[in-house]
Structure formats: C-alpha cells, structure tokens
C-alpha cells in the first residue's frame, strides 16, 4: 500500500466511526452537557484527568472552559488534575502514581462537582482511583473511554455518564474523545448563553 492510500484509509476509518458515534453517543453527550451545566450554575467545578493523550485532552477541555470556546463568556471553574508537576511528583513519590488524581479529588472535590475521567482503555488505575474518590465525595463522573469501557465501564453508577467509543484503536478513540469534548464545550456555551 502506498502512503497516500494509507492516509486515505485513516480518513475513511475516522469518518465511518464518527458516523457510528453520531447515532450512539449524541444522547449521552447531551446528558453530560446537562450535568456539567447543572454543576457550573450551582457553584460547582469541573475536575478533569487522564494520562498521555488523555491528559492533553483533559488540559484542553479545562482551558476551553476557563478561557473560552468560541464565544465570549464568563470563565468557568475547571481544573485539569494532570497539570501541576509538583503535586504529581510529590504524590507519586510519597504515595504512588496510582493516587496522583485521587489525592486531588479528595482535596478539591465537593458534592455537586463533576469529574471528567478520560481513559481510552478504561483501565487506567489512577483514573479508576479518581473515580472511586469522586463517588465517595458525591462528585458526579463523566467517563470517556473506548475498547468496551474496561474496568471504568463496570464501576460507574446510574448517576454517571459513560461515553464509550466503540473502537479498539487508541488513535480513533482519541479522535472521537476530542470531538465529544468540543461538543460538550459547545453545548455548555449554548445553554449558558441562551441558544437552547
């Protein structure tokens, strides 16, 4: 296969997955928007976490909320738990890397907040521990996963929202995750700015 054909296959695969997810993930993404808006309009905050590419997505999401997405509005309370290197290295060194997010959820999370937990495999131990901490603190969870949802999919409650991308390749899952995060940002802005 030549390089152009290989690249074309990426476009075809992504388009097919996006179309499938349009049918399966639009309704739960709307539920996620409702949960986020409810929290933000009731003095809550958004905590987000993930590893690697998912860490970048968590940071991107928090930046869109604190800064702006596409339109001017007041800044929204959001924190990416994977950005403070002093906390990450202190907790990792003293307690182990599995607790780098749960320690922060326990320190910062309040009832009514939302944790956006991102793991393409659904099996990231530190994200799982963050979800456990969130549940113990009455923090609602929006989980973005793939590959069937993994352990995270099995531990979510009926109050949580699970956005599981039906694919096994990490790059495809990440592509859909960023679309879902952008859709959530747009939905938040639409509700807060009166477009809905």
Where along the chain do its domains lie?
A: 3-192
Report d(CA 58, CA 78) in Å as an integer.
10
- For the annotated binding site, the residues are 51-53, 60, 64, 93-94, 119-121, 124, 174, 182
Q: What is the pLDDT of residue 82?
A: 97
Q: Which amino acids are annotated as binding site for substrate, given as ranges?
A: 51-53, 64, 93-94, 119-121, 124, 174
> Quick one: pLDDT at residue 192?
95
The annotated binding site for Zn(2+) is made up of 60, 64, 174, 182
pLDDT along the chain (196 residues), means of 10: 94 97 97 98 98 98 97 96 98 98 98 98 98 98 98 98 98 98 98 86
- pLDDT for position 50: 98
How is 95-161 classified by DSSP, letter by letter?
Answer: H-GGGTTHHHHHHH--TT-EEEEE-SSS--HHHHHHHHHHHHTT-EEEEEEEGGGHHHHHH--TTSE
What integer pLDDT is reported at residue 133 of this predicted model? 98
pLDDT of residue 196: 66
pLDDT at 194: 87
The confidence score (pLDDT) of residue 195 equals 79
Q: What pLDDT is attached to residue 57?
A: 98
CATH 3.40.50.10490 fits 3-192, yes or no: yes
Give the pLDDT of residue 43.
Answer: 97
CA geometry: angle at 194 spanning 114 and 196, to 5°? Answer: 80
């Amino acid at each position: 296969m030549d390089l152009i054909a290989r690249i074309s296959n990426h476009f075809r695969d992504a388009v097919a997955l996006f179309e499938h997810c349009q049918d399966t993930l639009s309704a739960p993404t709307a539920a996620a928007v409702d949960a986020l808006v409810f929290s933000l309009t009731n003095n809550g905050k958004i905590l987000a976490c993930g590893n690697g590419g998912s860490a970048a997505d968590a940071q991107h999401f928090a930046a869109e909320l604190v800064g702006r997405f596409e339109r001017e509005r007041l800044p929204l309370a959001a924190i990416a738990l994977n950005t403070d290197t002093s906390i990450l290295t202190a907790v990792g060194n003293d307690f182990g890397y599995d607790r780098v997010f749960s320690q922060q959820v326990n320190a910062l999370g309040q009832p009514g907040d939302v944790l956006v937990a991102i793991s393409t495999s659904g099996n990231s131990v530190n994200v799982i521990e963050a979800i456990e901490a969130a549940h113990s603190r009455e923090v609602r969870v929006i989980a973005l996963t793939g590959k069937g949802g993994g352990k995270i999919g099995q531990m979510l409650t009926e109050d949580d929202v699970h956005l599981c991308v039906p694919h096994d390749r990490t790059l495809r899952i990440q592509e859909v995750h960023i679309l879902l995060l952008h859709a959530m940002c747009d939905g938040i802005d639409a509700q807060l700015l009166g477009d809905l």
